[in-house]
Amino acid sequence: MAGAISHHALASTQSYRWSAQSSRFEKRTGNVRWVHQGTRCSVGRKLGFVCTSGSQQPSVVEPFQLPSDANSDHTPKKSSESALILIRHGESLWNEKNLFTGCVDVPLTPKGVEEAIEAGKRICNIPIDMIYTSSLIRAQMTAMLAMMQHRRKKIPIIMHNESEQAHRWSQIYSEETKKQSIPVITAWQLNERMYGELQGLNKQETADRFGNEQVHEWRRSYDIPPPNGESLEMCAERAVAYFKEQIVPQLVAGKNVMVAAHGNSLRSIIMHLDKLTSQEVISLELSTGIPMLYIFKEGKFIRRGSPVGPSEASVYAYTRTLAKYRQKLDSMVS
Ligand SMILES: O=C(O)[C@@H](CO)OP(=O)(O)O
């Protein structure tokens, strides 16, 4: 039953608890709100995650092959279980100015840099084998800054496959060095939705001009595109297709993957993972710089919220492998 759920999460250092009495998550912090409806939790504004039913309570699952040494490479396992971390980039300069950004390539603000570093601290105990980012610098900065916090200290390295020459010129000729690195794949398919003629316009001024309702429809509806831009549905056609074709096979192979992308490209992926309807996705909002963890197990994605901090126990108890990996890291330090 839904009342059995107790999840920790999300957008701040506080934890949130499911209340059986009120049938909803009761705490609200900053711009995060959770609303529960029925056994499948839906989505309030600034969603941290969609909660799960009682059958998906945090659990320690059967072990599979553990990394024998956390200092060694995190060898992908023949397992049906792996971790997926989704993270929206930290605040960008145009988020700060409240401008429609879409595919315009703007960097993070100092606050966005802080958010990325903070996000990295939260996931610093989770082994990551591969990173996918969009082709936009705000997502790439976020991924890199977050990885700088990882306790394992592997180096994220961007794979340059844009031409045969770029690929050849970036070869690494040391297996040992390769083992100490994490491949970063950049893909335009994970870019923010193209906002068309709204790109560069102020969101408030646009709402004043066209009305709140119209602008909300452009920003959050599933199938209504902004003028000459992409609807969420159009964005999903490329982002979800890429996710299924390129990222899922890595998870199936037992690799742990981080995806650093954007509000709307991630909304479309979360809509797919959580099987949200086109109505439900309207109220799905993602905060900047908040990592969300899914466990991929036996072909299913199980939402596990966000590590509140590096020392939080619950996320690492979701699978025995994550717990063991963290123990190894702890023992290396002590
Ligand atoms: O401007 C954008 O590109 C996006 C994300 O910042 O805005 P919105 O939240 O309105 O989809």
Q: Write the ipTM.
A: 0.98
Q: Which of 135, 141, 85 is nearest to 257 (CA)?
A: 85
Q: Measuring from each residue's beta carbon to the nearest atom of ligand 1, which residues come in under 6 Å?
A: 95, 100-102, 192, 195, 219, 263-264
Among protein residues, the one whose CA lies closest to atom 11 of ligand 1: 219
Binding residues: 88-95, 101-102, 138, 192-195, 203, 219-220, 263-264
- Nearest atom in ligand 1 to the alpha carbon of residue 195 is 3
Pocket test for ligand 1, best of 88, 89, 92, 95 (most atoms within 8 A of CB): 95
Instruction: Kindly indicate the confidence band of residue 319, based on its pLDDT and cuts at 50, 70 and 90.
Output: low
**pTM tops 0.90:** no
pLDDT score recorded for residue 19: 30
3-state secondary structure of 204: helix
Among protein residues, the one whose CA lies closest to atom 5 of ligand 1: 263
On the question of pLDDT at 281 being above 50, the answer is yes
Pocket test for ligand 1, best of 195, 206, 235 (most atoms within 8 A of CB): 195
Residue reference for tokens 């390129």: 246
pLDDT score recorded for residue 65: 31
pLDDT tens, position by position, 212-266:
999 999 999 999 999 999 999 999 999 999 999 999 999 999 999 999 999 999 9
How is 27-91 classified by DSSP, letter by letter? --BTTB-B---SSS--B-TTBS-----GGG---PPPP-PPPS-TTS-----SSSEEEEEEEE---
In the reported structure, the alpha carbon of residue 203 is separated from the centroid of ligand 1 by a whole-number distance in angstroms of 9
Over residues 119-131, the mean pLDDT reads 95
262 is catalytic: no
- Side-chain half-sphere CA neighbours of 223 within 13 A: 3
Distance CA 9, CA 103 (A): 30
Torsion-angle region of 37 (φ positive above 0: left; ψ -120 to 50: alpha; else: beta): beta
Residue 227 in tokens = 């003028």
Residue 327 in tokens = 């123990």
167 is catalytic: no
pLDDT score recorded for residue 327: 72
Distance CA 239, CA 329 (A): 34
pLDDT score recorded for residue 62: 27
Instruction: Kindly indicate the confidence band of residue 137, based on its pLDDT and cuts at 50, 70 and 90.
Output: very high
In the reported structure, the alpha carbon of residue 233 is separated from the centroid of ligand 1 by a whole-number distance in angstroms of 15
pLDDT tens, position by position, 69-83:
444 455 555 557 899
Over residues 20-30, the mean pLDDT reads 33
Annotated catalytic residue within 36, 89, 150, 262:
89
Over residues 167-192, the mean pLDDT reads 97
Taking a C-beta distance cutoff of 8 angstroms, is the pair 310, 125 a contact? yes
Angle at 31 between CA 27 and CA 33, to 5 degrees: 40
On the question of pLDDT at 208 being above 70, the answer is yes
In the reported structure, the alpha carbon of residue 102 is separated from the centroid of ligand 1 by a whole-number distance in angstroms of 6
Instruction: Kindly indicate the confidence band of residue 307, based on its pLDDT and cuts at 50, 70 and 90.
Output: confident
When mean pLDDT is compared across 30-44, 108-122, 213-227, 276-290, the lowest value belongs to 30-44
Helix (H) or strand (E) holding 131: strand 130-133
